[in-house]
Chains A and B, each alone.
Chain A
Amino acid sequence: MEGTFNRAMLEVARAARGFTQGELAKQAGVTQALISKLENGLTTDPGEDTVAALATALGYPETFFFSEERPHGLPPFHYRKRARLRKKALAKIEADINIRRIHLNRLLRSYEPQNDWDFPTIDLAQHQWTPRDAAQFLRGHWMVPRGPIDNVTALAERTGAIIVQLDFGTPLLDALSFRLPGMPPLIFMNSKMPGDRYRFTLSHEIAHLVLHYHPESDEEMEEQADEFAAEFLMPAREIKPYLVSPSLGKLARAKPYWKVSIKAMIVQCSRLKLITPRQYTGLNVNYSKAGYGKGEPFPIEVEKSSALSKAVTFHLQSLGYSIEEIARLLMLEPDEFMDTYAERPKLRVIK
């Protein structure tokens, strides 16, 4: 194999498969000491047999370990996470995101995403705006009609942003977003969450990308992103008639129209001062009593992102890549490429 063995890609591959060093060593039939030395750069040339064994154990082609890609660490902000998230789970998510980012980087060499509007940045202090003002501005900038947003994912993708839906393997992390030089805004969404939460989370991430290009205090950024997301999805002027004198039944009926959770509407009622603190408590008590904390009625379908699959389809259909060629481009085995990107049964591996 030509090139230099890339120890960082070994670490990414191992984390993506959820292996400890010991588990990988056992799976590949090598010593843990070798894995450790490889990852720490103490051994730089593992030899052909070891590379083959690692590739087989990890399910990546050997080229994966000789690519010149440099994995990025997760940004210290811009992700909705809960404190209980363990290090190993976070490492797997980081590895999955790095692999998808590398795929995107390679696909975007030949494919230009749709770009009807730009994805602006807004300095709240400079404009003396609140997050609500910024949300109203963005709705106008992106020419969103009055009322509920039909599809937040499609709207964001029309700006060229890439939304990647991944199973994070844990409900403890909802999303992560960042801007990287030479790439469109990237938003990684946990695909395992209810559709209403997905829409609010995506709007929250849009807020981070628009407002928080310089990190500030985490708590303040989260509050601003929530306030932005609420106004973006439920503009005060337009949703007020649906929130006046709210009962749980009334909010539940409004949910399928506004495509936001009952919980988000209760919070918005309070934020817009449409209810007293006592009424807010009462609604939350009834919400818990009804068991909605475990699942609300009238589930909202999770929106589907399409930018990544369009890039793949472009390579296959317009550029004439075969499955093997695109899999090689993305440093995947063809079967994993199919599992990851193909919309079965439209595409099949032709051997």
Chain B
Amino acid sequence: MDEIDPDQQEIMRLIGPDLPRIFPIFPTAVSLYNSEVSAMARAEHDDTAAAKATHCHVWAGFQREFLDEPGYTFLDVRGLRVLNIGDQILIRAKKVDANGRHRNADTAQQRAFDAQEDLPGLPAAAARIVIGYQPDIAFSEVERVIVRRPNGRWVSQIVEADQAPYWIDITPRELPLESGRRTTGG
């Protein structure tokens, strides 16, 4: 059994109290897009437009939940929109696929964020994480919400529960190889 990364333990401990407020933002955003945007407009949206519109609802959801609350600050670094929790955690939200990866080309700011680099306007010591939501193929509901430390360090999945959402570690593990053998793809 692999041990859980202490960094993952610590960050999930820090955002744990906020998970019951963060988790519903994603299904609400998808539901809002499907119920409030007219059927004709949605029919004319391509995948990018649908994702972009849903992302706006996601970000508005974060703002409805945390704007003007002590300890939470919204930052915008040349288009990179981030929620700063107590100068300890910086969160950006992304639509992701089943592997927890996003598809679109990142800006320089986003790449720097994911690489945990310093960016003017962001607290240097804060951990940079991505909260990803994976909609189903029809964009009708959210199948999974994940928290990911970029650069492949670890991935947690948020699991909905009656009491409060909890997290499980879903970091991909490398298969142990027999000594002297290498595997190839396929």
Contact = CB atoms under 8 A, between A and B. Distances in A.
A297 B39 contact: no
A254 B47 CA distance: 12
A298 B138 CA distance: 9
B81 interface: no
Nearest to A258: B43
Contacts of A250: 46-47
B140 A298 contact: yes
Interface residues of B, number: 16
A349 interface: no
A258 B42 CA distance: 11
Contacts of A290: 136-138
Interface in B118-168: 136-141
Contacts of B40: 257
B20 to A, nearest CB: 26
A297 B42 contact: no
Interface in B15-63: 34, 39-40, 42-47, 50
B18 to A, nearest CB: 30
A256 B138 CA distance: 12
A242 B43 CA distance: 7
Contact of A254 (B34, B43, B137): B43
A281 interface: no
Interface in A282-318: 286, 290, 292, 296-298
B39 A256 contact: yes
A253 interface: yes
Contact of B50 (A241, A253, A256, A298): A253
Contacts of A297: 136, 138, 140-141
Contacts of B39: 256-257
Nearest to A239: B43
A298 B34 contact: yes
A247 B43 contact: no
Nearest to A251: B138
In this complex, the member of A252, A292, A296 whose beta carbon has the largest number of chain B beta carbons within 10 angstroms is A252
B50 A249 contact: yes
A115 to B, nearest CB: 31
A242 B46 CA distance: 9
A257 B139 CA distance: 15
A249 B138 contact: yes
A248 interface: yes
B61 to A, nearest CB: 21
B47 A252 contact: no
Interface in B93-119: none
22 contacts: A241-B44, A242-B43, A247-B47, A248-B137, A249-B47, A249-B137, A249-B138, A252-B137, A253-B43, A253-B50, A253-B139, A256-B42, A256-B43, A257-B42, A258-B43, A290-B136, A292-B138, A296-B138, A297-B141, A298-B34, A298-B138, A298-B140
Give the 9 A-B CB pairs with smallest separation, nearest first.
A252-B138, A297-B140, A257-B43, A257-B39, A256-B39, A254-B43, A297-B138, A253-B42, A248-B137
Interface of A: 241-242, 247-250, 252-254, 256-258, 262, 286, 290, 292, 296-298
Given A241-B44, A290-B137, 19 more contacts: A247-B47, A248-B138, A249-B47, A249-B50, A249-B137, A250-B46, A252-B139, A253-B50, A253-B139, A254-B43, A256-B34, A256-B43, A257-B40, A257-B43, A262-B138, A286-B137, A290-B136, A297-B136, A298-B140
